[in-house]
Amino acid sequence: QWLGTLRGISDRQDLHGLIEGRLTRILLDCGGLDDAGDRMSRAMSRGQPPARAAAWVEGFLAGGGLLMVHDPRLLGLVDGWLTGLSSDQFTDVLPLLRRTFGTFAAPERRAVGERLRSAGRDAGERDQTVDERRAAPAVATVLSILGTAGR
């Protein structure tokens, strides 16, 4: 009955993103949800305001980032959403993202970073030329989000 109530609340259209994300995670963790990826896709779609999507991610990832480490689909959704934001939208949601990722233990942040670094590589691992000068601002931003800047 409790899980049914949580699911009913999580399906409401007027629910704050933080609460919806947290309820989705609770239902996923207890096995009461089969469509978490679809829910995340909807919550983080281009039609949603970036602040609401960031609040949803914050609620969903509250308590640790291991889910992102072990579920490549969910990590890909978060990564795709972040890379699809305009620079102004990214700047607007950055404090929420920093707060969310800042709650993760250092090994979790490192594991998420490693997963992202290895994502999309072919089995043969293609070599690509990277302009380190152009990539430096993006690297600095990611390190800042993960809380590892200056280490």
pLDDT at 18: 93
pLDDT at 31: 83
Pick the CATH number of 1-124 from 1.25.40, 1.10.3470, 1.10.760, 1.20.120: 1.25.40
What torsion do the CA atoms of 53, 55, 59, 61 make, to the nearest 10 degrees? 70
pLDDT at 16: 94
Measure the CA–CA gap between 16 and 97, rounded to whole angstroms. 16
Structural domain boundaries in the chain: 1-124
pLDDT along the chain (151 residues), means of 10: 89 92 89 82 83 89 82 80 83 84 88 83 56 87 77 56
pLDDT at 149: 62
Q: Which two tokens stand for residue 61?
A: 């990832």
How many CA atoms within 13 Å lie on the side-chain side of 113? 18
Q: Give the predicted TM-score (pTM) of the model.
A: 0.64
